[in-house]
Amino acid sequence: MDYSSEIINNLCNLFTPQNLVQMSLAHKILVAVKGNKVLGTVRLKENAIFTVFVDPDYHHQGIGVKLMESIEKIAKERGYTEVGLGSSITAVRFYEKLGYIYTGDTHKDEYGLTFIMKKPL
């Protein structure tokens, strides 16, 4: 497991349905769904990508790739030449395969260790 239960609880408290609705008013959010089930999400604020989640039962099915390609396209259409994001340790390889480059890391008590990555568009 990448993160402690305390950090997971902090993230669950942050990404409540109510908070996601509020975020959607100021940020672009894409959601992958199948029927009534949410399979994945991604959020764009200016040229920063956040909230990249794919249901573990649906990993390795291309959902994350499609979400990332779609949000990168939106960032490029908005005139950005680079995007950045924070990654967990287990997602670093996923982002590297998509062309992201590790630029450093940060640690915050409420979020744990985060790997900072960037990609030119």
- 63-97 pLDDT, tens digit per residue, is 999 999 999 999 999 999 999 999 998 899 999 99
**pLDDT over 70 at 1, yes or no:** no
Give the Cα separation of 25 and 15 in Å (integer): 14
Domain segments of the chain as ranges? 5-120
Q: pTM of the full predicted structure?
A: 0.86
User: Where residue 6 falls among pLDDT bands split at 50, 70, 90?
Assistant: confident
With a cut of 60, say whether residue 103 has pLDDT above it. Answer: yes
Q: Please report the pLDDT score of residue 18 as a whole number.
A: 84
The mean pLDDT of 20-25, rounded to a whole number, is 81
pLDDT of residue 30: 94
Q: How many helices (H) and strands (E) would you count in the chain?
A: 4, 6
- The class level of CATH for 5-120 reads alpha beta
Calculate ∠ Cα 91-114-19, nearest 5°.
Answer: 90
Average pLDDT score over residue span 39-50: 95
Query: How far is it, in rounded angstroms, from Cα 72 to Cα 46?
Result: 11
Exposed / middle / buried, residue 75 (Cβ in 10 Å: 0-12, 13-18, 19+): buried
Q: How confident is the model at residue 8 (pLDDT cuts 50, 70, 90)?
A: confident
pLDDT of 2 over the 90 cut: no
